[in-house]
Amino acid sequence: MRIIPAIDIIGGNCVRLSQGKYDSVKQYHNNPVDVAKNFEDAGIKYLHLVDLDGAKSKKIMNHKVLENICLQTSLHVDFGGGLQSDEDIRIAFDCGAKQITGGSIVVKKPEIFEEWLLKYGNTKIILGADAKNENIAVSGWEEDSKLDIYSYIQKYQKKGIQYVISTDVSKDGMLSGPSFELYNKILNQNNSLFLIASGGIHSLEDLFKLKEAKLEGAIIGKAIYEGYIKIEDLGKMSN
């Protein structure tokens, strides 16, 4: 299972939100590159990098952070937040992202996302399927699309999607454990999917349970920054 620490960026700083609410922002570090280097030094191979400024402004904003992390580490970075145009995705890949995650654009401009899937291939394009009451949440989770998450994922799996990142919005940043029921339901309906869990992870036990449930990966954020999980332990799980 991929062990994937998260770095969320606002104003060039490493921050975390709770349930996606911008008024809950908490800053942890002013140099995301140093944070990424610490992950790599611990033996971690993957990184989930989110441009929260981009998500809010609907265009890529913190591409320099992405570029500096990719230049100064060998981490496999998946990048999301504000990718709304062909120019945005070009910048992300030019700056070193190995994969990108499409979230709101899949709902708002599905034809563009499907073109990306054809152009770049399904190993580089991740479907962001974030859930609020089992419906797809978009626009920084401020909007309920009324789209059922299960049929939504099935639709894009038929179009070639392999990788899906799914966050249960109610769990994100709450350190209350991941949404095991949601992930089991998704995998029961889409058993060939490479599903990556995000949100709520609080302990190594949570990670072992996700691994047992056959998740492709797990994204860990606040539990690292608040000291509930040590990066050294994550590094051991990565090897």
- pLDDT tens string 207-223: 999 999 999 999 999 99
Among 2, 22, 18, 1, which Cα is nearest to 10's?
22
Instruction: Tell me what pLDDT residue 18 has.
Output: 75
At residue 112, the pLDDT reads 97
Cα angle, residue 89 at apex, residues 201 and 74 outer, rounded to 5°: 60
Specify the amino acid at residue 127.
L
- pLDDT at position 105: 92
Tell me the pLDDT band of 33, cut-offs 50, 70 and 90: very high
Look at the chain and report how many structural domains it folds into. Answer: 1
Is the CB of residue 196 less than 8 Å from the CB of residue 2? yes
Q: Which domain holds residue 72?
A: 2-238
Q: Is the pLDDT of residue 19 over 80?
A: no
Enumerate the active-site residues: 8, 130
Q: DSSP class of residue 168?
A: B
- Going by C-alpha positions, the residue among 67, 42, 63 that lies closest to residue 53 is 63
C-alpha span between 80 and 120 (Å, rounded): 15
State which amino acid sits at residue 142: E
pLDDT interval class at 17 (50, 70, 90): confident
Alpha helices in 143-213 (DSSP H): 149-158, 180-189, 204-212
Give which of 98, 51, 39, 108 is closest to 70, Cα–Cα: 98
Which of 94, 98, 95, 115 lies closest to 106, judged by CA? 115
For helices 110-120 and 86-94, the axis angle rounded to 10 degrees is 40
* Cα dihedral 50, 64, 111, 190 sign: negative
Average pLDDT estimate for 111-134: 95
Note the pLDDT of residue 104.
Answer: 87
Q: Cβ neighbours of residue 117 under 8 Å, at least 6 residues apart? A: 125, 159, 160, 161
Mean pLDDT value across residues 168-184: 88
- Residue whose structure tokens are 């998500």: 55
The CATH number of whichever domain residue 202 belongs to comes to 3.20.20.70
The mean of the pLDDT values for the chain is: 93
Structure tokens at 95: 């700056």
pLDDT at 6 over 90: yes
What's the pTM?
Answer: 0.94
pLDDT given at position 143: 60
